[in-house]
């Protein structure tokens, strides 16, 4: 069964310190991988997606197919990074035909950056 875990429910770091938000997934096939962020009192929004190989707000995410991980990293945390972060493996379009191919978001990690 598809599953995604984010082992840290809450993560606190000091401003300027490196931050890594972990995401591990188990999936039959090769899902597309996304990180979504929800700032306080704002909507959930896309932060970055693996397919784009992009860096957004200083965050990057490396896909490790061997470990089936997609950890989110930033070298120097800022106070405005405090938010809830969700990892989301999404089934490839060609497989979204059965009820088994569910959209799954991880449980989320609450990041708190201490000034």
Partner 1 sequence: DSGVTQTPKHLITATGQRVTLRCSPRSGDLSVYWYQQSLDQGLQFLIQYYNGEERAKGNILERFSAQQFPDLHSELNLSSLELGDSALYFCASSVHLTSEDEQYFGPGTRLTVT
- Residues found near partner 1 in the complex (CB under 8 A): 31-32, 34, 36, 43-46, 49, 51, 86, 90-93, 96-97, 99, 101-108
What phi and psi, each to the nearest 5 degrees, are found at residue 79?
-60, -35
101 neighbors 91 (Cβ within 8 angstroms): yes
Least distance between partner 1 and beta carbon 109 (Å) = 10
Is 26 or 75 the residue whose CB approaches partner 1 more closely? 26
Is 14 or 112 the residue whose CB approaches partner 1 more closely? 112
**What six digits make up the tokens of 98?**
């059965």
CA angle 80, 84, 85 (to 5 degrees): 100
Least distance between partner 1 and beta carbon 10 (Å) = 13
Question: What is the spatial distance between Cα 112 and Cα 115, in angstroms, rounded to a whole number?
Answer: 10
Is 76 or 100 the residue whose CB approaches partner 1 more closely? 100
Least distance between partner 1 and beta carbon 88 (Å) = 8
Is 57 or 102 the residue whose CB approaches partner 1 more closely? 102
Question: Look-up: residue for tokens 């405090």?
Answer: 82
DSSP at 59: B
């Amino acid at each position: 069964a598809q599953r995604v875990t984010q082992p840290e429910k809450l993560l606190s770091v000091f401003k300027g310190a490196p931050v890594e938000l972990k995401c591990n997934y188990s999936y039959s096939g090769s899902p597309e991988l996304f990180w979504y962020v929800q700032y306080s009192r704002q909507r959930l929004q896309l932060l970055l997606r693996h397919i784009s190989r992009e860096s957004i707000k200083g965050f990057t995410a490396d896909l490790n197919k061997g470990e089936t991980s997609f950890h989110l990293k930033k070298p120097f945390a800022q106070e405005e990074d405090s938010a809830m972060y969700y990892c989301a493996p999404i089934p490839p379009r060609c497989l979204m035909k059965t009820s088994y191919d569910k959209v799954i978001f991880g449980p989320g990690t609450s990041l708190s950056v201490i000034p």
